[in-house]
A and B are shown apart, each in its own frame.
Chain A
Amino acid sequence: MNDLWAGLVEAGRLLVTFDADLLEITFRSLRVTLTALALASLIAFPLAALLAVRRFRLRRTVIALLNALMGLPPVVVGLIVYILLSRSGPFGVLVLLFTPTAMIIAQVVIIVPLVASIAHQSLRDLWSEYHDLLISMNATPRQRIAAILWDSRRALLTAALAGFGRAIGEVGAIMIVGGNIDHATRVLTTAIALETGRGDFAMALGLGFVLIALAVVVNLSIHWLGRTEVEARW
C-alpha cells in the first residue's frame, strides 16, 4: 500500500514540476498513439463499412478472422514488424526500425482489427435499418457506405476510443520495434517497464497514474467535443 501512495505522490510531483522528461515522453506517447489511431481509422472504417454493405462469398470468414485478430498478442505483432523492418528484412531499406514511425506501424496493425470489429457491428445494425431505403433511393455502393459511416459517427467514435485505449497502454510491440531508446523512442509505457525493471516502483506507479490520467483526459475531451451526453443526440 505504501507503494501505491508513493506512486500517487510521485505522479503529483512529476506533474506539478512539469518534469521535462515526463513531458517529452508524454508528448511522444500521444503523438505515436494518436497518429496510429488516425491511420488505423482510415483503414478500419471503410473496411468495416464494406464488410457491412457488400455481400461476397468470403464475408463471414473475413469477419470471423477480424474478430479473431483482436486477440493477437501485441508482442507477436511487434516481432513480425521487427523482422519486416530489420535491415536484413524486406523493408530494411526504409530504415524505420527503432524510430517512432516503426512504433506507429506496429500499433496500427494491432488496433485495426479492434476498431474494425467494433465499427462493423454498429455499421451492420444501421445498414439493416437503412437497407431498403437506400436501395429505393438508388444510392450507389459508395453513397451507401458514406451514408452509414456518417450516420454512425458516434459509434465510430466509440470504436476509435477503444482503439486509443488499447494503443496508449501497449508496451510489448513498441518495446521491440522502438527499442525504448532514451530521448528517441521512449514513451510512457516503456518507461514504466524500465522503472519497474529497476525496482523503482514509486516512479513506475507515478508514470502509470499519469498515463491513466492522460487516457481519462483524452476520453473526456472527445466526449465533451462531441457532446455525446447531450440529450437525444444520436
Chain B
Amino acid sequence: MRGIIAIAITLVLSASGAMAAEVRVAVTTSFRDSGLSDVLLPAIAADTGLDVQLLVVGTGQALRIAAAGDVDAVLVHSRAAEEAFVAAGHGRHRRAIMFNDFVLIGPRDDPAGIGNATGVVDALARIAGAGATFVSRGDDSGTHKAELGLWEVAGIIPHGDWYREVGAGMGTAQNTASGLDAYLLSDRASWLNFRNPGTLALLFAGDPLLANHYTYIPVDPARHGHVDAAAAARLEDWLTSDAARVLIDGYRIGGEQVFIFDAVARPSVRSGSATP
C-alpha cells in the first residue's frame, strides 16, 4: 500500500516537475527550414513536458551564443567547429542524432551540365569552369563550411563574378538562387520544403561526400553554471530514443525520406565521436 502511494507521489511530482521545464536550444536554419522541427517539438512536449525554445540561427552564431552561455544546448552540423567548441570547454560532448544529404540545385536547363557529373567534385569543377552563377551561404554556417570543404577537395578557390556570397540562412539563399537562376548547395530537406523554387531543380545528389551530419551538444554546466543541464540531458535522451527514431526516419517531404537517424546508445567521449 505504502509502495503504491510512494510511486503515485513520485509520478505526480515528476510529472509536474517535467511540465515546468523550458530548454533553449540554438539550431541551424536548415533544421527549421526542413520542417522537421515542427514535427519533433510537439512530440517532445508531449513525451517529456519540455518546452523547447528554438533559436534559429546559423551554426557560427549558434556556437557563439552557446559559448556565451545564453542557450542550454545546440544542434548543428559542422564537425570541425563542433570539435573546437567542445575542446574549448563550452560543450560537454558531441552526440550524433541524424544525417541527411546535401544536394546541388540549379536552373532547370543546367547550363553547366552537372546533371551527369561523375561526382560532386566534378560537378563543382563544371560550374566553376562554365562561370555559372553560384550562390553561397557565406554565413559561416554548417552548410557553408561543408560547401567550402567541397571546393577545397575539388582544388578550386571559388572566386569571381559568378560566385555570390549572400551571408544568409538557407531559405534566403534559396530565394536568391531562385531569383538569380543560380546553382546552390542546399540540404535535401530544406530544398524539398522550399516554396518558391521558380525555375530551379535538383540536379545532382548522391555523392558520399555530400553526407550532412547533425550533432547535439549540451552546454557544459561546469563552464556556465546557470544552464539547465538536466533539461538539456532529458532532451538529449529523447533525441536519441526510439520515439525520435520513428519520427525522424518517418519524416517525409513529398513522399521522400530526408533524414536518417543515426544516434547510438551511449554518448561519445568528450571530443571523440561516434559519428563518421
Contacts and interface: CB of A to CB of B under 8 A. Distances in A.
Query: Do these two chains really belong together in a complex?
Result: yes
Interface of A: 86-89, 92, 95, 97-98, 179-182, 184, 196-201
Contacts, number: 61
A196 B70 contact: no
Interface string B106-121: 0000000000000000
Nearest to A178: B55
B175 A196 contact: yes
B24 interface: yes
A86 B55 CA distance: 14
23 contacts: A86-B65, A86-B68, A86-B70, A87-B68, A87-B69, A87-B224, A87-B226, A88-B67, A88-B69, A92-B69, A95-B226, A98-B24, A179-B57, A180-B56, A181-B55, A182-B53, A182-B54, A197-B29, A197-B171, A198-B193, A199-B174, A199-B194, A201-B195
A89 B68 CA distance: 8
Given A180-B56, A181-B54, A197 B169 contact: yes
Nearest to B29: A197
Q: Is the interface of A mostly helix, strand, loop or mixed?
A: loop
Interface in B153-197: 168-172, 174-175, 178, 193-197
Interface of B: 24, 29, 33, 53-57, 65, 67-70, 168-172, 174-175, 178, 193-197, 224, 226
A198 B253 CA distance: 15
A89 to B, nearest CB: 7
Contact of B171 (A98, A180, A184, A198): A198
A86 B65 CA distance: 8
A98 B69 contact: no
